[in-house]
A and B are shown apart, each in its own frame.
Chain A
């Protein structure tokens, strides 16, 4: 079981790392006119680029960890009891894993479209 101080270090590190990868993700929308960057072919091309797909996966994991841990902290600030803490921890970890799994599926399938 991690200590809260260790969890906060992870929270800060994922937050700072997310800043950099999200900046690259946003820049990819600005290297060409915004509307053009959202066209299906251009977006699929992004997903076919392996380094960019890895970047998307890292954004997914970093923000899911940072976001759901932030939600856990907020919920624990509102109410404190052993049962509530356990419940909030289990629900936020399950939600985090669910979002990561769903997003990873999108990245894998969209990346795999190039093979077809």
Chain B
């Protein structure tokens, strides 16, 4: 087949489609979405803190803009994203090192991939649960008065 005839690139549509591959695809998708979200927050945070250099008035003006219920909701999202990204990232480092993966074997029906075993799958769930717990704690700090 001619290379030019092959048009199997789905681009962004393929990247965003979590439907075909189960939880591992959802995890792949969330790792990238949270990564992009955290990078955007990081750049915004570097800009936000630069107001320090312009004195107390500029700092307080920036706080008025960010320390609002909407600002706190965004921070909560950042807490959840960073916790998931970290926990799932550690799982991925283990996976790349071969830890927690099954041994190769003869493919028998129903063709469950041994690499995607309970250890790897539970890692995804642990990352999601940790993110939820961190968000609850963050909410108690951000919306809990003091």
Contacts and interface: CB of A to CB of B under 8 A. Distances in A.
Interface in B74-96: 82, 86, 89-90, 93, 96
Given A15-B89, A99-B43, A70 B50 contact: no
B60 A99 contact: no
Given A33-B146, A106-B50, A110-B53, A79 B35 contact: no
Interface string B89-114: 11001001000000000000000000
Interface string B39-68: 100110011011011001001100100010
A67 B52 contact: no
Interface residues of B, number: 31
Nearest to A67: B39
Interface string A77-110: 1110000000000000000000100110110011
Given A67-B38, A106-B46, A43 B53 contact: no
B15 interface: yes
